[in-house]
Each structure stands twice: as C-alpha cells, then as structure tokens.
Structure 1
Amino acid sequence: MKRFAFIISLLIVSSCAKDNSNFTLKGSIKDLKKGTVYLQKIDDTLLISIDSLIINGESQFELHTYLEGPEVLYLKLDKNGQDSGIIPFFADKGVTEINTTLKNFFMDAKIKGSVQHDKLEEYQMMMSKFKDKNLDLIKNNLEAQRSQDSILMASSLKEYNNLIIRKYLYTINFAINNKDSEVAPYLAVSEIPDANLRYLDTINNALTPEIKSSKYGKALQDLIAQRKKQ
C-alpha cells in the first residue's frame, strides 16, 4: 500500500511539473531496465526532487520543470532502491538531452543543451588537466616520503601550492572573460568562494547587468557581503 501511494505521488509530481514547465530534460540510459530517474535542484543548500519518472523496460526518459533562469540541475538515478549516481548540468529554458549508460552513469554522460553548459564543460576540461597534475604531485610526494627525501617533499609541496594558485587564477580569468554568462558567478560561488575578496569583487564588477541580476549573480553578491561582514 505504501509503495502504491509512493508511485501515485511520483505521478502527481511529474504531471504538475509537465503542465507548468518551460524546460525539458530527455535522454536515455543504456541497459537500464528498471529504476527511477529524478530531476533535482539545490534549494537552500538541500538537494530536492522537482520531477521524477519510473522506468520499466524502456531506457528513455523525459522530465520537466519551470525555470526562472539558467541554473545547475541534477539528474539522479535510483536503481533497486539504491543511489546509482548523479549528473550535474547547466540548464536553461528549452530542451537538454542527456544520454549515458547504466554501467558508467556519470562518466559516460553526453550532454547537449544550453550554451551555459557548453561553457561549463570548457571550464571543466581545463580543470581535469589540473586534477591530473595534482595526482602526479600526490604520487611524487608519496615516493618522496617513502624515500625520506626532504628536498623532493619540499619541492612537491611548493608545486602543489603553485598549482592551487594557478587553478584559482584560471577560474578568476575564465569568469571575467565570460562576464556575460551565468557560468561566471556560478564558478565564483561554487569553485572559489574563499578567494581573496578583491578577486571576487573584480568578477562581480565585470558582470553585465543581466548576469548580476541572475540567480548566481545575486548569490555572488550575497557571498561578498557576508565575507565583508566577517
């Protein structure tokens, strides 16, 4: 009886979301036969579901919601009552398509949709290079510790600190160079919230009026205000 009530509630949520939507997420999950997909967003620091679909036999899905403006949403997969992964993406009004696999739900995701997401992927591609470099430094540091090579340990620590600085500077420059995209304040808030206030102010001052009034533009201004109070 409880399961029946749960299914009915999911159908009601899905129906309401579709009726009032201006955004559609569609796609497929290869090899998925049974499970539930959820469209989620962050609301007051909590991840909440705004639409859902029970999949039974078909790997295709379609989810809907209403967006006031571009924002990061999440596609979550629940299989057999277990969380099987989550895919973040930058959504905007219209249609976004995500195709992936059950085996590698997050890693295999191919996302086609908003210009904001294309810009976010450009940033993430560079961040993956920083991550690879960071892994190399961790390996070098472990080898230095095993051999008790203090000079190599000091060198790897210095390289690590320089890498962090380069990552922050790249993010700041990327945000400023994309001042007309919602991605700019989003990266400032999500990637470098602890950066020097001078840099956060520089990003904020560079934003176009439209981006300043967006969800993440307001979030950046709130962050700066809170940091200044501290």
Structure 2
Amino acid sequence: MNKGSIDISQQNKVLMLLPGYNCGICGYARCDEFAGALLKSRTQLEKCRFLYQEIFQEDLAKLQEILKETKVIPDEKKIIGVMDNYEADIILKPLHGEESCRETLYPFTREKIKAGEIIRYRPLGCPIIHFAKVLEENHGLITVHLVGPCHRIDSEAEFEYKDIGVCMVGGFQGTIEGKLPRVGETVRFLPYHCMMQKVHSGVVVQLEGRQAIIEGIDLKVWAPPVKGND
C-alpha cells in the first residue's frame, strides 16, 4: 500500500458496519467518504448520530475496536478548487500536445457551425464568456479547444468569431492526474484550464490508460466544501 493511500478492504470493512444512510449529517456526502475519513483520523465516530442508537450498538463496538487497532493513515495532498473550496478527486489535464481539455458543447443556436471557426459562448451555469476553436461538428454537437477568454477580451485585438450565445457543456476529454477512477464512476474533477478553478462533477464514460471522457457535466458538486486544512 502506497503512503497516503487507504486499504480498500479495510475501508469496506468499516463501511459495512456504518448505518449506510448517506444522510450527510456527519459532514460527508456518503458513508464511504466518512469511512475513509475515520481511517485517516479526520473525523470521529460521534459525528454519526445514528450509530449510537441501540440497534447499532454491536456495530459500534466493532468499529471502535477496528479503529483502535488501525494505524492512522497519513493524508494525501488534497485537490481543492479556488471557487467554492470543494475537494476534487482528480485534475483533468489536456491530451498530449493540446492546449486545453476538449469540451463537447450542445449549442442552442440553429446557426450552422463549422470546424475551424472561433466561437464565442457562455457555458450554461458559468458566468465567464469563453472563446473556443471548433474541432468538429457531429449531429449538432461540437467539440472545441478553448482559446480564451484571457487573450480574446482585448477590445483592440482584431479577430473574427461567431457568437453562438449560451451552450450546455456535455462532456470533457483529457488526461487524468490523480487516482484513476472506474468507468461509470461519478467523479469530482478540476479542469486544468478552468479560469475560475471551479470543481465540476460528471460520469466517466470512457477510459484508455489515463485518457478519459467525462460526461453529464454539472457545476453543482454534491459534497460539503473543505473547511480549513483539517
């Protein structure tokens, strides 16, 4: 077991003894996250209010014994988004030789969009205007590389672009930095090129080595933000 990693069998053993309600009252979104935090001594059993009910007394005793015998696992370096202070599971970096992660967009405009064009758009749910180069168009979906906003907002710069209004971001494609997730797993990830450094969430639908496609993108992250460094 690498330094800073959790013994999955031990975490599952703890998880099986927890009530399993995924209620979030303990401060963690799911019981498996609470189990991992217990093994790292980042929280206490007392945070689970259900565990102290009479029907769970036998499980509580077993948990106390396990945690007494288990060595504290050192914390791994956290990936924390600047916006909202949420913790991410992974960083999504560009594919080799590319400048940004690829994004798949659902444009709401009926205007025809061609590969090679520069588009101006705002992702649904994001306050930042983006500029991107269209790599391909397929049945109304477009795949893009970001080329702004940073160097595209100079009012004196001369360049042509097509304003397509609001778009829904359907997916990201890039290279994973961090622990590899499983296909089908919902992950919290930080796009390397994100100007706000905001943690996103989505489902891993394809994985080849460390190259991943994540779809079902959501800017709302269903987990409590990290408070301080504890």
TM above 0.5: no
Whichever structure has more helix as a proportion of its residues is 1
Q: Which has the higher contact order (CA 8 A, sep 6+)?
A: 2
